[in-house]
Chain A
Amino acid sequence: AQKVTQAQTEISVVEKEDVTLDCVYETRDTTYYLFWYKQPPSGELVFLIRRNSFDEQNEISGRYSWNFQKSTSSFNFTITASQVVDSAVYFCALTEEAAGNKLTFGGGTRVLVKP
């Protein structure tokens, strides 16, 4: 069975600080996809990134970067030079090839960026 754990429930930082969100996953499938979503107070889930299990390259997109390590089953997310607009709940999610595209989400990490 697939499982995603986000151990940090809430992180508070001051603007311009870096913040790293941890995500650990469990799966028995060799082909799977990992995601990060942002959920602002409005409630809509905003897609940030998708990685497949065969691509362990780290990725950077502007102030966002992701570190995928299969050896530790982790897919961590870093926001560099945080801004107030980054305040939101961030979810890590997993889908297995064998499970169609049913997403399993972690419990989320609330990020509060103070000015």
Chain B
Amino acid sequence: DAGVTQSPTHLIKTRGQQVTLRCSPKSGHDTVSWYQQALGQGPQFIFQYYEEEERQRGNFPDRFSGHQFPNYSSELNVNALLLGDSALYLCASSSPLTGRNEQFFGPGTRLTVL
């Protein structure tokens, strides 16, 4: 049973560019959440998707957007990249069967903005 997977593992972009990160949830999970973890800090909630809609959003600008597909996988898009967007982006999935508050995390995508 595959856990949460994310791609790519590493990414280097320059300021002003756009990036798309991908996440496949754990089998049987229908809810995907995204977190940003800056170096030396705890993860910060970006948003959550359920039934292909954004259900909750943290304190992030509109440059951060997402999408969820019918197979529950999800994308995180960041436009007009800033140096401060450099971070580890973590995806987490959950299921109504095990309780949505029990989230399983993927290995993350490390984004570097130059």
Residue numbers of A with Cβ under 8 A of B are 4, 33, 37, 42-47, 50, 91, 93, 95, 99-108
Q: Are B105 and A104 in contact (CB under 8 A)?
A: no
Contact of B108 among A44, A100, A104 (CB under 8 A): A44
Min CB distance B67 to A, Å, is 19
- In the complex, what residues of B have CB within 8 A of residue A91's CB? 42-43
> Bound complex: CA of A21 vs CA of B81, how far in Å?
36
- In the complex, what residues of A have CB within 8 A of residue B41's CB? 107-108
- In the complex, what residues of B have CB within 8 A of residue A33's CB? 101
Contact of A101 among B40, B100, B108 (CB under 8 A): B100
Q: Are B105 and A101 in contact (CB under 8 A)?
A: no
Min CB distance A88 to B, Å, is 14
- B58-114 residues with Cβ-Cβ distance < 8 A to A are 58, 88, 90, 92, 94, 100-108, 110
Question: Do A45 and B42 contact each other (CB < 8 Å), given the known contacts A33-B101, A95-B101, A101-B33?
Answer: no
A-B contacts at CB below 8 angstroms, number: 60
Knowing that A91-B42, A91-B43 are A-B contacts, what are 20 other residue pairs whose CB atoms are under 8 Å apart, sorted by A's residue number? A42-B107, A43-B107, A43-B108, A43-B110, A44-B105, A44-B107, A44-B108, A45-B90, A45-B105, A46-B105, A50-B101, A100-B48, A100-B55, A101-B31, A102-B56, A102-B58, A103-B43, A105-B43, A108-B41, A108-B42
- B23-68 residues with Cβ-Cβ distance < 8 A to A are 31, 33, 35, 40-45, 48, 55-56, 58
> Bound complex: CA of A44 vs CA of B33, how far in Å?
15
Per-position binary interface string of chain B over residues 11-25, scored 1 when its CB falls under 8 Å from any chain A CB and 0 otherwise: 000000000000000
Q: Are A43 and B88 in contact (CB under 8 A)?
A: yes
Question: Do A47 and B104 contact each other (CB < 8 Å), given the known contacts A91-B42, A108-B41?
Answer: yes
Q: Are B106 and A44 in contact (CB under 8 A)?
A: yes
- In the complex, what residues of A have CB within 8 A of residue B107's CB? 42-44
- In the complex, what residues of B have CB within 8 A of residue A100's CB? 48, 55-56, 100
Q: Are B55 and A104 in contact (CB under 8 A)?
A: no
> Bound complex: CA of A99 vs CA of B31, how far in Å?
15
- In the complex, what residues of B have CB within 8 A of residue A107's CB? 41-42
Min CB distance B56 to A, Å, is 5
